[in-house]
Structure 1
């Protein structure tokens, strides 16, 4: 099973454990990493969870969402795309999502419905499954692909469906293609460009709702897709900050899209200042970070039972301010709603704190709580 991705290469460890009091729920903070970081730009926005929410494209002036340019699609040699769809009207042609190649010549990746058929597109080629999605019900649809495959695979509500090529010579040759980076992605509509001006296709928009749109940079197995797994994508998360949307096209709560999960990766930026003005050393920062997380998690009323801390790595930068990247893995026992955990963790970590002779603050723009997979051997 794939671990949460941290992007930190340090492998030295310190086997230090703490045992805390019991409560209705318990949190195990499994790993904590620290690295010195540069000051981030100020144009970032706070990560807002969309778990337990949907986008209702039947709202007035709410026809689509578009991926922001700064969160562009990367080059991919393998992928999994999953999305939950609920149709409210039985229009014969509708679109779940469309990723247009950066040269704007063809659909690089897409999913849409035609009559009683579901069409999936890759590299301008189309495969069809004779599956009509019933109205007023949620359907989970996943598609997977890698360079070694001659066609994608599609799963509807956890079950793989048969795909037929729309035309001859549609099969992909092994190692023929990679998903191009830097294209444009829309939810609920197809789109195109005329003289480099963005426009949407009319008459093929989704009359319904979308939730849990996620992208991974690897092929999820049939077993993983068939199970109720609430972990987020590692390429695109289901979070609000990455999408452009019109003012009236806001997400709405939907309890049917809530999902309970135990494993989370928390990323945040810490500003750790000594009261005497001296430099904060790495070994001090590690202990302060541990105490900060212990205090914060206790305020969730999800009392931590164990905290395991990994030796930090510090990277010297030109900035004088003592800012540190912190990555922690937590295990919630029993599992809890992803959206609730994300909101509560962000809330308690935004508080300024004083620990011994240190003042600690965080930037709400850089607090991210991601539901994820984790290897069983990492559990205590």
Structure 2
């Protein structure tokens, strides 16, 4: 019996090195397999631009995706990069944001918008226009930023990081839960959203971002690739009609761009009203935005009509 136990022990000892030899490759194979598992598909649109090729196609535009909403804001910073290819006689609409339904279809006064005319940048803010004399050469990328603060009652427009103009606006608040359209003007009617071709944008649009505070001139000059904390250039927040998204590795914040190596990307997702211009206190009076619909606006497109407009029907649209 003792001899049998001894032989058994010798057999086990003799087998251990072989077990280790056969086990080690298995561990390496498992680790290698884990390393080969592809990471989650990034949702960032940095490296992709929206290309608007035609001025006579209504269903070539971008909108906020269902569930993406803009809250009421007492201050904000909005930036977008554009490269114009054509300039119509009436100018072009970079984007339009509307909150109130239009009782008169002919009315096109926007809650917020940036437009470009031959020698002017035209800002719509609280349904009033602000004109800044600035020529934007065609076929060249330009970064446009608009800041606003209700406590200083001032809107400021920056072009390529340089302050080009400011305007007193009065003490207001940006309306919430509106409809935002890239590259086209639109009307928010009682039961639908209507996109038209007047002042249609032809060119490239990139890196639309919105923050809930007013950034300083220095921050605008050094903005780089920072994400907006309300709206940023991400496929989860945007929906595009038509085949307008196009890859471009030469874009400023593309993954393959050297600029992105030095970019500071923030992930702040708070919605508190702050400003990095100067510290301010919240007004004692109660400021409320438009009592707009809190439901997700599920949209369905229909063919354009004879007047060069496209209707987007709002399902679950409630009176606000």
Question: TM range, normalised to the smaller chain?
Answer: 0.5 to 0.7
Deviations 1:106-141 (A, max 9, x none): 411110012311101110111111112100000001
Residue 130 (1) aligns with residue 127 (2):
no
Look up the match of 1:109: 112
Answer whether contact 2:224 2:263 (CA < 8 A) is retained.
no
> Residues 309-348 of structure 1 correspond to what in structure 2 (within 5 A)?
none
Counterpart-to-counterpart distance in 2, 1:121 and 1:225 = 20
Instruction: Work out whether 1:237 is the aligned partner of 2:240.
Output: no
* TM-score, normalised via structure 2 length: 0.62
Partner of 1:300: none
Q: Which residue of 2 aligns with 1:304?
A: none
The answer to whether structure 1 residue 250 and structure 2 residue 245 are counterparts is yes
Deviations 1:251-306 (A, max 9, x none): 33241333314555679xxxxxxxxxxxxxxxxxxxxxxxxxxxxxxxxxxxxxxx
What is the match of residue 219 of structure 1?
214
2: CA distance between counterparts of 1:250 and 1:68? 15
Contact 2:225/2:263 (8 A) holds in 1 = no
Unaligned stretches of 5+ residues in structure 1: 1-44, 165-170, 268-380
Closer, same or farther: CA 67–46 of 1 in aligned 2, 3 Å: farther
Kindly indicate whether residue 151 of structure 2 is the aligned counterpart of residue 151 of structure 1: no
Q: Is the 8 A contact 1:50 1:251 kept in 2?
A: no
Answer yes or no: is the 8 Å Cα contact 1:116–1:131 preserved in 2.
Answer: yes
Cα distance in 2 for residues equivalent to 1:241 and 1:264? 17
- Aligned counterparts, 1:72-91, within 5 A: 72-91=69-88
Contact 1:192 1:199 in 2 (8 A): yes
Taking structure 1 as the reference length, the TM-score comes to: 0.52
Offset of residue 89 of structure 1: 1.2
Cα shift readout 1:194-245 (whole Å, capped 9, x = no counterpart)? 4422111213111101001000000111001112522110110111121221
2 CA distance for matches of 1:152 and 1:264? 25
Match of 2:48 among 42, 53, 62: 53
Question: Which has more radius of gyration?
Answer: 2
**Structure 2, unaligned runs of 5 or more:** 1-39, 104-108, 254-258, 269-320
SS in structure 2 at match of 1:225: helix
SS in 2 for 1:223: helix
1:203 aligns with 2:206: no
In structure 1, the residue corresponding to 2:220 is in which secondary structure? helix
